[in-house]
Amino acid sequence: MDTVHEPLKHYTRATAGHLASLPLWKKLRDRRLSTTEEQYHLYMLEIELTNRLNRTLFLAADRKISLQPYCLKDQSVSCKAKKKGRDYQCTGCSMQCFQHAASQILKEYHIEPYIWMGGSISKTAIAARNENKSLGIIGIACVPELVWGMRKCAKYGIPVVGIPLNANRCIRWWGEFHPNSIDQDELQDLLNS
C-alpha cells in the first residue's frame, strides 16, 4: 500500500472528508459509498490489471457495447436520450456533453454506446449467447462502480475493460447531480489496437 499511495493519493484527496461527512445509515445501506482511500487505490490497480488482461479479448469480440453513467450528461440542457433495446442511447443534443463525446469516440470503434439506466449485464450476456456472438463490454463509471461492474462481467465470462470518471460527483455521493467527465485521450488509447 505504501508503494501505491504516493502516486495515487492526488486522485483521492477528498476521501477522508467524504467519509467523515457520510451518515451511518448511508454507509450501511450502500457499502460502495464508504470506500476508503486504500480501497480506492486497490480498485484503481484492479481496473488497470483487468484492462491489461481483457483488452485483446474485448477488441476481438463480435459485439461490443459500452455502459456509461447518466452523470456524464450535460446538466445545462434537457437530455434527449432515447430508449433503444435494453437501455438508452445519446442523441447528441449537446456538443458540450461528455456523454455525446464518449459516444462519438465509441462509435468510431464500432462500439454501441448505452447510458446505463436499468439494463442488465446478465440479460445482455444471455442475449449475446443466444445470437451466437461473443460480447465485450467497456464500462465508464466512478472507481467503485466500475470495479463492481467489471466483477459482474467477469462472473458471466464477458471480457470487460473500463475507464474511470475524472471524479465521483454522482447523486449517490453528493445528494444532487454534478457535472462529470472522462479523459477522452485515455478512452482513445484503450480502444486503439
Residue 134 structural domain: 56-191
Residue 173 pLDDT: 66
* pLDDT tens digits for range 109-140: 999 999 987 778 888 888 888 888 899 999 99
Residue 103 covered by a domain: yes
- With bands split at pLDDT 50, 70 and 90, how would you rate the model's confidence at 16? confident
Residue 163 pLDDT: 95
Mean pLDDT of the chain, nearest integer: 86
Report percent pLDDT > 70 for the chain: 95
3-state SS, 132-181, equals: CCCEEEEEEECHHHHHHHHHHHHHCCCCEEEEECCCCCCHHHHCCCCCCC
* pLDDT tens digits for range 51-62: 999 999 999 999
Q: Is the predicted pLDDT of residue 32 greater than 80, yes or no?
A: no
* 3-state SS class at 73: coil
Residue 121 covered by a domain: yes
Residue 10 pLDDT: 67
> Whose CA is closest to 18, among 4, 8, 32?
32
Up-side HSE of residue 157: CA atoms within 13 Å toward CB?
A: 6
Residue 153 pLDDT: 94
Residue 6 covered by a domain: no
What single string gives the DSSP state of each residue in 100-136? Answer: HHHHHHHHHTT-EEEE-SS--HHHHHHHHHHTT--EE
- With bands split at pLDDT 50, 70 and 90, how would you rate the model's confidence at 172? low
Residue 165 covered by a domain: yes
Residue 71 pLDDT: 84
Residue 106 covered by a domain: yes
Walk across the sheet containing 112-115 and list its strands: 82-84, 87-89, 112-115, 63-68, 135-141, 160-164
For the chain, what is the domain count? 1
Residue 129 pLDDT: 86
More confident residue, 65 or 19: 65
Residue 114 pLDDT: 92
Q: Is the predicted pLDDT of residue 97 greater than 70, yes or no?
A: yes
Residue 163 covered by a domain: yes
Across the range 134-155, mean pLDDT stands at 94
Q: Is the predicted pLDDT of residue 70 greater than 70, yes or no?
A: yes
- Cα separation of 113 and 106, whole Å? 7
Residue 122 pLDDT: 84
Residue 5 covered by a domain: no
Residue 175 covered by a domain: yes
